[in-house]
Each structure stands twice: as structure tokens, then as C-alpha cells.
């Protein structure tokens, strides 16, 4: 299964649009967003994705009621679910995940640090797609996760 991952979009509309276009082009079946959409007007851009999406709140998602109105499926993490035959853990920050919850997952998808992580540790894939917004690092990055490996490709998108 091919899964698109975008995190820390921080209201940067043009990059959200670019990421969704890339995911459509690359045959992504599910999108994961581990938080920091930030505002409801940016959340509306995510509605252009017509497939399934799992999304958690981040620490900058202060307008929770407005976000929930736009994205009724947004949840507090950690979320543990199955996708593509793998157990996936989705949360905004890896440090907020207990070792017991991490032990239940094959793939751990987080954000928060704005730094790319694509590493296998103790037989688990830890994935942080970096920052989609590009505000901190100057790089707007997303990931395409292939559950068959599992493995992930980090891709830079244009604003």
C-alpha cells in the first residue's frame, strides 16, 4: 500500500496543494498527517483529497473546534491502526509515544521537529516526513510510505 505523509503544513496553502497533487500522481491510497495543520482555512485545502485520511492534532493546532468542524476525523494521538498489513502508529511527536505503544507498531509516523527521519530501529520504521511548510528548514518535504517494505521516500515539493 502506498501512503502519503505530510506533516507540519502550518497554513502554507500552496504546498498543501502541491503535496496532494503529487500524492494523486503517485497513486497514493491513504494520507497521514501527524498534526500542525494550524487553522481551519488550511484544513479546508485537505478536503480536496477524496480518499481516506488519518490525522492527529499537533501542538500548534490551537483552534481545535474549528479544525474538528472542517475535519471531523481529526483525533488526539496516539492512533494505532492497520494499513497495508502493517500496524501503524500516528502521533504528532515521537517523544509523546510511550514505549509500550511503540512496541505495538511496525511503522511509527510523527512530525513536530520539522526534521526528516527515515530510519529502521529495532525492526520498526520511524518516519518523520519533515516539514511540508518549509518555514524552518527552507525545504518543503513529504513522504511516500510503501508498507510492503516497509520503506519510505522523502520528496521535496514546490510551493
Give per-residue pLDDT as tens, 37-67.
999 999 999 999 999 999 999 999 999 999 9
Return the domain boundaries, the chain. 2-156
What is the predicted pLDDT for the residue at 96?
96
Give per-residue pLDDT as tens, 6-18.
999 999 999 999 9
Q: What is the mean pLDDT of residues 115-125?
A: 97
Give per-residue pLDDT as tens, 133-150.
999 999 999 999 999 999
Q: What is the mean pLDDT of residues 78-91?
A: 98
Q: What is the mean pLDDT of residues 24-43?
A: 98
Q: What is the mean pLDDT of residues 90-108?
A: 98
What's the CA gap between 135 and 83, in Å, rounded? 30
Give per-residue pLDDT as tens, 68-81.
999 999 999 999 99
What is the predicted pLDDT for the residue at 2?
98
At the topology level of CATH, where does 2-156 sit? Purple Acid Phosphatase; chain A, domain 2 (3.60.21)
Q: Do residues 15 and 134 touch, judged by C-beta distance below 8 A?
A: yes
What's the CA gap between 131 and 5, in Å, rounded? 10
What's the CA gap between 103 and 135, in Å, rounded? 32
Q: What percent of the chain has pLDDT over 90?
A: 99
State pTM to two decimals: 0.97
What is the predicted pLDDT for the residue at 52?
98
Q: Where are the beta strands (DSSP E) in 2-85?
A: 2-5, 30-33, 53-56, 74-75, 79-83
Amino acid at each position: 500500500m502506498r501512503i502519503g505523509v505530510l506533516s507540519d503544513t502550518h497554513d502554507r496553502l500552496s504546498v498543501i496543494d502541491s503535496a496532494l497533487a503529487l500524492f494523486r500522481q503517485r497513486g497514493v491510497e491513504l494520507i497521514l498527517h501527524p498534526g500542525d495543520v494550524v487553522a481551519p482555512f488550511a484544513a479546508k485545502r485537505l478536503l480536496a483529497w477524496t480518499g481516506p485520511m488519518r490525522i492527529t492534532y499537533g501542538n500548534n493546532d490551537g483552534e481545535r473546534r474549528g479544525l474538528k468542524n472542517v475535519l471531523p476525523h481529526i483525533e488526539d494521538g496516539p492512533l494505532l491502526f492497520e494499513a497495508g498489513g502493517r500496524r501503524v502508529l500516528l502521533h504528532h511527536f515521537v517523544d509523546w509515544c510511550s514505549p509500550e505503544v511503540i512496541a505495538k507498531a511496525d511503522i511509527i509516523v510523527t512530525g513536530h521537529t520539522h526534521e526528516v527521519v527515515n530510519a529502521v530501529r529495532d525492526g520498526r520504521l520511524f518516519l518523520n516526513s519533515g516539514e511540508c511548510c518549509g518555514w524552518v528548514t527552507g525545504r518543503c518535504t513529504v513522504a511516500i510510505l510503501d508498507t510492503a517494505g516497509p520503506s519510505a521516500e522523502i520528496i521535496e515539493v514546490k510551493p
